[in-house]
């Protein structure tokens, strides 16, 4: 029978029918073919023996619209044919709500088995998440020799432990094995939720900075990664992964909306942002429509810091591009590496030559042995004495010196606990070391090392007083230039122009190094003015006096004597229980620590993403990818998450067959 609504505009014998009857009697249906009403549940589940002589609501149809009492008479008592048919209908639509099923699936024994089965599935999932492994197999059928990591691991547990075997796989109800792909993803989502909950609880009501970057995944889809930088309860500046969001494009407005949606998901307001860390792309740092500007419209104290590591890279690249000799050097180096990479035979020859050199150098005591030493492969000894080779050797040593000095700074910028004041000091130290290299004493030592290398390997030594011969360019551009003048030029000054701001100079007054020699009360009071929403009028007035007591206290405390960074200072203040005593000072210190130095943490996320979402798992969904990344990256918190909490969240995600 075709179910259709009653046409209210019909006339004739149906004028007295009330359309609201359909709301009162849900089972009542009207057929436009016969012009009569029927009982839908009785029509489906009628028992002819219960209707002697037939029934108007089942066979002939009901047309007596002026006799509503007939409808109630059809319903009858609790044991009537209509009520029996309605019960069968309800059981048909929702079979799990039957009394038999309800009692069976909610008994203590069944619940215990269900919980055990769910727990073992969760343990398999937790192991795979921690290792970043795939879950599904190409063929998960019973006859498959490799059913995928999840099922194979669960089967291995069942084959080795009887308590597991008793409740999983073949010994579990076929409609409640808890191994379906949907169940796996829901458990993974519960794991990610409990992991992120630790991050939100650790953050609390504190202000934070955001670090964001975008990159494409293995499926060539643009992804935006977002990290939070904040000071935890122990006073440590930490960076935590919040989530990964798929974006259709990389315009500043799209990125801002993606960041905002992710923060709103965890009830983190944009007004709490006190710092921004991105790379130097125009869509990020643009002064008019960049992401930096859009975020500062929501929070005026969300100061932007161009990633120091990115600036260092741009500086070295810019210097190399401006020097034609460096361009030639890297071009030749690229050719050399291409030739070596294309031949296994040449690689083997290079390794043999390097091994022979290492043995000889160890005999002469020129190099030291130890764990992690002498791991780099060098180039084979040159035998040619042409000018190109002379310059190549010289530039090789010069770039090695430059990269050697900047390597310490680069490694320091990769540390998550690095603060911006210490990074500024490291930057100035690196500039000083490079400046020393340019001066007479440093330059003479450098030339001495190059000369020694050339003499040892029978390569002609560069005459620094000789005429400079340019490579791949006319000599008229360098008339009268000597080698000393060309290679001794200043190439690295004034590259970090974005860090010389009043804000950072004020922050430097917090530096605890050398017994707080950089401390300046006036600068720190001025620093508080950069955060008008964090300090009210009374706190700004009180800050001056609190700073006076603070500096006298820490200078006279032996525990603060050898501190080198702001992070050390913050941790010590918490450890010495001085936070409540100098609450305004500590609030200002946390705002300084929140400012990011580099976006290395976000970039590491993309390296991890390529491990999780590789060519074999290139079609992972966005939510699934985000959940796997959260548990893999923040495994410190994931390990703290209890099975009980994960299962409770899993059970609350939707109605389950068993209520624990």
The β-bridge relationship of strands 303-306 and 222-231 is: unpaired
pTM: 0.67
Beta strands in 169-326 (DSSP E): 208-216, 222-231, 237-246, 273-278, 303-306
Number of residues in the chain: 660
Binned average pLDDT, 10 residues per bin, the chain of 660 residues: 41 50 73 77 70 65 73 77 80 60 64 90 94 86 85 92 89 85 94 95 92 80 90 92 88 90 92 85 74 88 76 63 63 72 76 78 68 49 42 67 69 65 68 66 71 70 63 57 56 45 81 88 91 90 93 92 89 93 94 81 81 82 92 94 94 84
Q: How far apart are CA 209 and CA 203, in angstroms?
A: 11
Instruction: State residue 386's pLDDT score.
Output: 40
Instruction: State residue 217's pLDDT score.
Output: 75
Q: How far apart are CA 43 and CA 75, in angstroms?
A: 13
- Label residue 178 exposed, middle or buried (CB < 10 Å: 0-12, 13-18, 19+): buried
Beta strands in 203-338 (DSSP E): 208-216, 222-231, 237-246, 273-278, 303-306
Residue ranges, comma separated, of all CATH 3.30.420.40 domains in the chain are 188-304+600-652
Q: How far apart are CA 265 and CA 267, in angstroms?
A: 6
Helices then strands, counting H and E runs in the chain, come out as 29, 7
Task: Decide if domain 188-304+600-652 falls under CATH 3.30.420.40.
Answer: yes
Instruction: State residue 148's pLDDT score.
Output: 87
Radius of gyration of the chain (CA): 37
Q: At what angle do helices 583-594 and 566-575 cross, to 10 degrees?
A: 140
Q: How far apart are CA 545 and CA 543, in angstroms?
A: 6
Q: Which residue has the tokens 């508080």?
A: 528
CB 115 within 8 A of CB 168: no
């Amino acid at each position: 029978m075709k179910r259709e609504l009653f046409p209210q505009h019909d006339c004739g014998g149906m004028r007295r029918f009330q359309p609201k009857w359909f709301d009162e009697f849900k089972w009542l249906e009207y057929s436009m073919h016969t012009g009569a009403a029927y009982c839908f549940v009785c029509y489906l589940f009628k028992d002819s023996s219960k209707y002697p002589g037939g029934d108007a609501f089942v066979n002939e149809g009901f047309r007596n619209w002026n006799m509503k009492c007939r409808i109630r008479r059809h319903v009858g008592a609790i044991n009537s044919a209509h009520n029996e048919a309605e019960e069968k209908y309800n059981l048909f639509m929702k079979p799990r709500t039957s009394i038999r099923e309800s009692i069976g699936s909610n008994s203590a024994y069944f619940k215990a088995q269900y919980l055990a089965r769910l727990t073992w599935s969760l343990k398999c999932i937790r192991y795979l998440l921690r290792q970043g492994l795939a879950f599904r197999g190409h063929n998960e059928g019973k006859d498959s020799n490799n059913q995928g990591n999840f099922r194979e691991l669960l089967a291995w547990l069942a084959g080795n432990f009887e308590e597991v075997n008793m409740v999983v796989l073949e010994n579990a109800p076929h409609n409640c094995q808890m191994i379906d792909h949907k169940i796996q993803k829901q458990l993974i989502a519960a794991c990610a939720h409990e992991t992120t909950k630790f991050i939100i609880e650790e953050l609390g009501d504190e202000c934070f900075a955001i670090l964001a970057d975008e990159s494409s995944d293995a499926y060539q889809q643009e992804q935006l990664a977002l990290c939070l930088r904040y000071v935890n309860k122990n006073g440590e500046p930490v960076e935590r992964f919040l989530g990964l969001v798929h974006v259709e494009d990389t315009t500043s407005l799209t990125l801002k909306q993606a960041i905002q949606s992710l923060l709103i998901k965890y009830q983190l307001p944009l007004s709490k942002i006190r710092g921004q860390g991105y790379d130097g792309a125009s869509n990020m740092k643009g002064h008019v429509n960049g992401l930096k500007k859009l975020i500062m419209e929501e929070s005026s104290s969300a100061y932007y810091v161009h990633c120091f590591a990115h600036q260092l890279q741009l500086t070295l690249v810019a210097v190399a591009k401006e020097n034609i000799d460096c361009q030639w050097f890297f071009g030749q180096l690229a050719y050399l590496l291409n030739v070596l990479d294309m031949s296994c035979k040449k690689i083997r020859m290079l390794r043999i030559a390097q091994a022979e050199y290492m043995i000889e150098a160890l005999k002469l005591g020129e190099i030291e042995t130890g764990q992690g030493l002498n791991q780099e492969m060098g180039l084979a000894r040159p035998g040619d004495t042409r000018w190109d080779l002379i310059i190549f050797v010289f530039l090789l040593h010069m770039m090695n010196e430059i990269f050697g000095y900047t390597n310490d700074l680069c490694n320091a910028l990769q540390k998550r606990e690095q603060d911006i004041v210490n990074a500024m000091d490291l930057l100035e130290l690196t500039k000083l070391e490079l400046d020393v290299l340019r001066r007479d004493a440093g330059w003479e030592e450098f030339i001495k090392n190059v000369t020694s290398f050339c003499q040892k390997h029978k390569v002609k030594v560069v005459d620094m007083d000789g005429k400079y011969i340019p490579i791949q360019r006319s000599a008229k551009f360098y008339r009268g230039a000597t080698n000393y003048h060309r290679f001794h030029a200043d190439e690295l000054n004034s590259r970090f122009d974005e860090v010389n701001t009043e804000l950072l100079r004020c922050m430097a007054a917090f530096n605890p190094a050398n017994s707080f020699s950089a401390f300046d009360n006036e600068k720190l009071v001025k620093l508080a003015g950069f955060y008008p929403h964090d300090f009210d009028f009374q706190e700004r007035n009180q800050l001056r006096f609190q700073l006076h007591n603070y500096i006298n206290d820490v200078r006279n405390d032996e525990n603060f004597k050898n501190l080198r960074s702001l992070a050390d200072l913050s941790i010590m203040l918490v450890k010495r229980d001085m936070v409540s005593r100098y609450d305004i000072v500590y609030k200002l210190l946390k705002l300084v620590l929140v400012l990011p130095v580099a976006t290395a943490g976000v970039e590491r996320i993309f390296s991890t993403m390529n491990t999780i979402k590789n060519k074999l798992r290139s079609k992972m969904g966005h939510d699934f990818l985000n959940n796997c990344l959260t548990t893999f990256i923040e495994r410190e918190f994931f390990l703290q998450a209890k099975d009980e909490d994960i299962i409770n969240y899993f059970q609350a995600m939707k109605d389950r067959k068993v209520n624990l």
